[in-house]
């Protein structure tokens, strides 16, 4: 700590924080994997062999907008009336199995869409 303050006092540039753990992804790789192929942050990190946090920081650095998780929900494509009908016919558990989502996800989705 004393060395850092001394270096700052005499006008030297001091690196702060923890050093990077791995390679930083290039903009071309991010555009190809994240934007064009539509992969998730974890998939991109696995393909590039870096952390998901490094991918997220690189997205911000290059000005690439990140996707929200909500826009990829399968339930958003189903009309509320159709979903309620399916729940009445098959029950919430059967509907959840058929759609491949958790029961709690359907309950939450219904609360949000109904405005409760």
Instruction: Encode pLDDT of 56-74 as tens digits.
Output: 999 999 999 888 765 566 7
Find the range with the poorest average confidence among 82-86, 89-93, 112-116: 112-116
pLDDT of the residue at 103: 92
Q: pTM to 2 decimals? A: 0.49
CA distance 78 to 95: 12
How confident is the model over 76-94, as a mean pLDDT? 91
> Residue ranges of the domains in the chain?
21-67, 71-114
Report residue 77's pLDDT band, with 50, 70 and 90 as the boundaries: confident
pLDDT digits (tens, 9 = 90+) for 9-26: 677 776 677 776 677 889
Contacts made by residues 83-88, CB under 8 angstroms, sequence distance 24+? 83/109, 83/110, 84/110
Q: Which two tokens stand for residue 107?
A: 């309950």
Query: Does residue 41 or residue 9 have the better pLDDT?
Result: 41
Q: How many CB atoms within 10 Å of residue 59?
A: 20
């Amino acid at each position: 700590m004393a060395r850092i303050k001394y270096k700052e006092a005499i006008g030297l540039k001091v690196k702060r924080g923890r050093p990077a753990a791995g390679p930083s992804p290039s903009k071309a790789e991010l555009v190809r994997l994240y934007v064009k192929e539509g992969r998730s942050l974890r998939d991109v990190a696995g393909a590039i062999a870096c952390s998901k946090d490094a991918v997220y920081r690189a997205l911000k650095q290059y000005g690439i907008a990140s996707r929200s998780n909500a826009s990829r929900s399968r339930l958003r494509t189903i009309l509320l009336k159709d979903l309620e009908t399916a729940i009445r016919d098959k029950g919430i558990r059967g509907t959840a199995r058929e759609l491949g989502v958790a029961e709690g996800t359907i309950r939450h989705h219904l609360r949000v869409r109904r405005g409760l």
